[in-house]
Amino acid sequence: MVSTSDLYREDKHLKARVEDACRLCERRGMARFVGFLDAREAMLAKGYIRQLQATCDAVFYGGHNDAERVMLGLFPEASDVDRASFPLATLAFYYRKEADITHRDVLGSVIGCGVVREKIGDILCEEGRAIVFLHEDIAAFVAESLDKIGREGVKIEWPFMGEIHCVHHYRSVSGTVASPRLDAVLKVLLGISREQAARLIQSDVVSVNYVPTMSVSRTLIGGEVLSVKGYGRYIVDDVSAVSKKGRVILSARQYV
């Protein structure tokens, strides 16, 4: 989790990278790539491109059609856009079907190899296998360096050419809250007291739509994404229905 000031610096850096990529694409007539980007960063990148009034074509792609983390590809105007040209690689990590391997386990192991987050795309976990999308320039290094996820031994297939059977897995979370305030919603999602939820928020470890927030009274709406350091990530599906007792009905999902 980054602070607001760190986020501001990262946004300025992202803007400079997108602007440089646009200019190089237009001047040299060659495709340029930025990322991986999360949903918030991709939204910002689209805005930067509009501000520049760039003539190049922008395409966001993360290795599969439902990718959450994507690369920005900038292509000369009117050229054929080939997704195969994106500099990404797909690896498959195989482990025992009984192993309880999660997205966080895989991400932590890859980052533990010294890989920065920007080089890592989606991680899709299923029974006995995790599919990982990486920038192609670090794929060989990860394949050679990583033989365990946590304490679980893994075998790696690279490049992975098989079918992707799953996208993202979730655990449903539901309950009722006094209001759609952030502290009230976190109370239910995390199974903690409202006072504990407020302390987490004020400790600057909570993000809404990938933006850190310290406002316990922030009102949430359906479709927003919550991230809490140490607890994981959640999608708030709905906080608009009201029960007969006048409480707000919360429907959400946790990434697993």
pLDDT value at residue 1? 47
Asked whether the bond before 159 is cis by omega within 30 degrees of 0, the reply is yes
pLDDT for the residue 161: 87
- pLDDT at 166 (0 to 100): 62
- Stretches in the chain below the pLDDT threshold 50: 1
What is residue 110's predicted lDDT score, i.e. its pLDDT? 96
Dist CA 235 CA 226 (whole Å): 6
Burial code (b: 16+ CB inside 10 Å, e: under 16) for 175-193 equals: bebeebbbbbbbbbbbeee
> Where are the domains positioned within the chain?
4-79, 88-157, 170-255
Fold of 170-255: 3.10.290
Give the tens place of pLDDT for each residue, 21-58: 999 999 999 999 999 998 889 989 999 999 988 889 99
Exposure string over 19-46, b if 16+ CB within 10 A, otherwise e: eebbeebbeeeebbbbbbbbeebbebbe
Q: In the prediction, which pLDDT does 160 show?
A: 93
CA distance to 69, 120, 174, 222, 252, per residue, from 170 (Å): 17, 20, 13, 16, 9
The radius of gyration of the chain from alpha carbons, rounded to an integer in Å, stands at 20
- Give SS3 for 228: strand
- pLDDT score for 170: 84
CATH code for residues 4-79 = 3.30.1370
CA distance 220 to 61: 28
**What is the reported pLDDT for 6?**
74
CATH topology of domain 88-157: Alpha-Beta Plaits (3.30.70)
Q: Give Cα 79 to chain centroid, integer Å.
A: 29
